[in-house]
Amino acid sequence: MSEDLRARVLAYLEKVDKVKSKDIAAALGEKKSDVDKVVKELAKEGKVEFLYIGTSYVKLVK
Amino acid sequence: MAELKTPLLDQLTTGPWPSFVADMKRLVDRKPTVADVLAQLELSYEEKKGHWKHGGIVGVMGYGGGVIGRYSDMPEKFPNVAEFHTMRINQPSGWFYTTKALRDLMKIWDKYGSGLTNMHGSTGDIILLGTVTDNLQPAFDEFSDLGWDLGGSGSDLRTPSCCVGPARCECACIDTLDLCYDLTQEFQDELHRPMWPYKFKIKISGCANDCVASIARADFAIIGTWRDDLKIDQEAVREYVNSGFDIQGVVIDKCPTKCLTWTGSELVLDGSNCVRCMHCINKMPKALRPGDDKGATILVGGKATILQSAFLGWVIVPFMKLEKPYDELKDLLRNIWEWWDEHGKVRERIGELIYRKGMRVFLKDLGMDPLPQMVFRPRANPYFFWWPEEVNQG
Ligand code: HEM
Ligand code: HEM
Ligand code: SF4
Ligand code: SF4
């Protein structure tokens, strides 16, 4: 997976409190499935966490 | 505790069938929770009004699905069911257990929960009814130490389920058990994290008998079938007939496409018209068998009534070879999910979205071709609407 997309997802998450994966994809103009993959990797590394409020949101682990 | 009086519920124990009331009363002495469930239900019968609330967020670490929150709306009156959450445990493919596995599971549930179970839920899972918020994590930890996992709930992939398939059934055209397990492993994130407009169910049947009713109950139904001609053992057919079997009435006349003939000594098949419905095979299992070139038909959109009426699945792939690692199938699933997530409204199932946008939009966006098998009666039903620019007007 591209390092570039990873960096951009992280940069985007810095700017928001919590966001849906789908909306990250829309904001970055990327495919949602690609963003999903990056987010899953980041979650496994403990860099982002999932929040469930009706649906899944992603946020940076502070 | 006041004595438990349930005259209305007790009427349910008077019939000839086993009653959940009688079963639950056997637990009452050991489990005060169960007494309160019964007492609250009795009140519901008196008042003709439910007293359960769907809850806020309850769950276990790392999971957004698998626990269904429930609370009583009269916690002062029924304190033991103030919290009464349900855990969904992912069942093994085809529901095969050892008795030891079941006993171990039940030991944990007896320790942390009400002792009530539902084997199995409509989703397929082992449904464990009734525990409190504080017990969720310790119960889950013990389940997972034994290798059990939670199933799906909420707007995520629900626990995939399948028929017993090749383990027990000679009709199976695909290895339903392996496929179900493989998909469950592959899509762990989708199972445990609610992230779509609504639920998504995958059910797998080894043949068109569809023992898990996937066509009606699954957003994504995988039904085993074959592509060449079904196999006929003429000698065995004659044995059926010689022993008095009414082949004309029971098989030939009931074939939906009238593609079988009985000459008096031979069964003749017009293979190009067989729709592989399984009828003749079910009636003469010793003489007829599915063909050799096996795979599955994929259907999308089955569901019960919620926004729209009940739907059966539509065929979107008439035949797909299904061999490990099932990449073609997985790619198709991912593409469907992406499209649904992009266009679906909250609580809109994939079938409803296809209904709203039209099958041709769905097929075009997914890069699939319209095929006659997608149509109920290919020669009579103008089901598919062509894009205007594709119609030859000349
Ligand atoms: C007015 C009351 C209720 C309504 C309208 C209601 C509605 C529903 C619906 C629509 C589902 C399917 C959800 C889905 O699969 O997405 C469901 C599932 C379920 N509900 Fe309820 N429910 C009610 C009360 C209760 C109560 C009182 C309990 C337990 C104390 C309960 C336990 C469950 C369980 C365990 C399932 C999952 C069953 C399965 O998938 O096998 N519900 N309910
Ligand atoms: C007179 C009382 C009741 C009647 C007539 C009744 C009837 C039914 C019926 C017809 C179903 C659907 C079964 C299926 O299609 O698979 C069902 C499902 C269910 N019932 Fe009951 N039920 C009653 C009481 C209860 C109680 C008291 C509980 C729990 C404490 C309960 C828990 C459930 C659950 C969890 C399901 C979901 C089953 C599934 O997931 O397939 N029911 N019930
Ligand atoms: S669906 Fe077919 S393969 Fe599966 S159990 Fe039923 S008859 Fe057997
Ligand atoms: S499988 Fe169904 S359609 Fe095919 S020959 Fe048998 S009864 Fe006819």
pTM here is 0.84
Helix then strand count (H, E) for chain A reads: 3, 2
Can you give the pLDDT at residue B379?
56
Burial pattern B117-129, b for ≥16 Cβ within 10 A else e, equals beebbebbbbbbb
Q: What torsion do the CA atoms of A30, A36, A39, A40 make, to the nearest 10 degrees?
A: -160
- Asked if A3 reaches chain B (Cβ–Cβ under 8 Å), the answer is no
Can you give the pLDDT at residue B178?
98
Of B220, B218, B374, B212, the closest CA to residue B303 belongs to B218
Chain A partners within 8 Å of B155 (Cβ): 54-55
User: What residue's CA is closest to ligand 1, atom 5?
Assistant: B54
Expressed in angstroms and rounded, the spacing between residue B269 Cα and the centre of ligand 4 is 9
Can you give the pLDDT at residue B64?
86
Contact criterion met (CB below 8 Å) for B237 and B306 = no
Of B179, B199, B196, B220, the closest CA to residue A36 belongs to B196
Around A40, how many Cα atoms within 13 Å sit in the side-chain half-sphere? Answer: 14
Can you give the pLDDT at residue B309?
85
The tokens 């999971």 sit on which residue? Answer: B63
What 3-state DSSP class applies to B150? strand
Expressed in angstroms and rounded, the spacing between residue B257 Cα and the centre of ligand 3 is 22
10 Å Cβ neighbour count for B21?
18
CA distance B95 to B161: 9
Distance set, CA B280 to CA B33, B220, B258 (Å): 51, 26, 11
Ligand 2 pocket member B11 (CB < 6 A): no
Distance of residue A52 Cα from the nearest chain B Cα, in angstroms? 6
What are φ and ψ of residue A17, in 5° steps? -80, -60
The shortest CB-CB distance from B57 to any of A20, A32, A52 is to A52
What are φ and ψ of residue B189, in 5° steps? -65, -40
Written as six digits, the tokens of A16 are 């928001």
- What ipTM does the predicted assembly reach? 0.75
In total, the C-beta contacts within 8 angstroms joining chain A to chain B are 32
What 3-state DSSP class applies to A38? helix
Per-residue pLDDT of chain B (394 residues; tens, 9 = 90+): 567 899 999 999 999 999 999 999 999 999 999 999 999 999 999 999 999 998 777 889 888 889 999 999 999 999 999 999 999 999 999 999 999 999 999 999 999 999 999 999 888 999 999 999 999 999 999 999 999 999 999 899 999 999 999 999 999 999 999 999 999 999 998 999 888 999 999 999 999 999 999 999 999 999 999 999 999 999 999 999 999 999 999 999 999 999 999 999 999 999 999 999 999 999 999 999 999 999 999 999 999 987 778 999 999 999 999 999 999 999 999 999 999 998 999 999 999 999 999 998 999 999 999 888 887 666 565 556 678 888 877 7
Q: Do A31 and B338 touch (CB under 8 A)?
A: yes
Distance set, CA B342 to CA A31, B66, B202 (Å): 10, 25, 20
- The DSSP bridge partners found for residue B162 are B204
Contacts of B223 (CB under 8 A, 6+ apart): B204, B205, B207, B208, B210, B214, B215, B296, B297, B298, B299
Can you give the pLDDT at residue B382?
56
Mean pLDDT on A3-10: 92
- For residue B173, which atom of ligand 3 is closest to its CA? 3
The DSSP string of B216-278 is HH-SEEEEEEESSPPEE-HHHHHHHHHTT--HIIIIITT-TT--EEE-SS-EEE-GGG----S
Cα angle for residues B366, B370, B371 (degrees, 5° grid) = 135
- The DSSP bridge partners found for residue B267 are B262
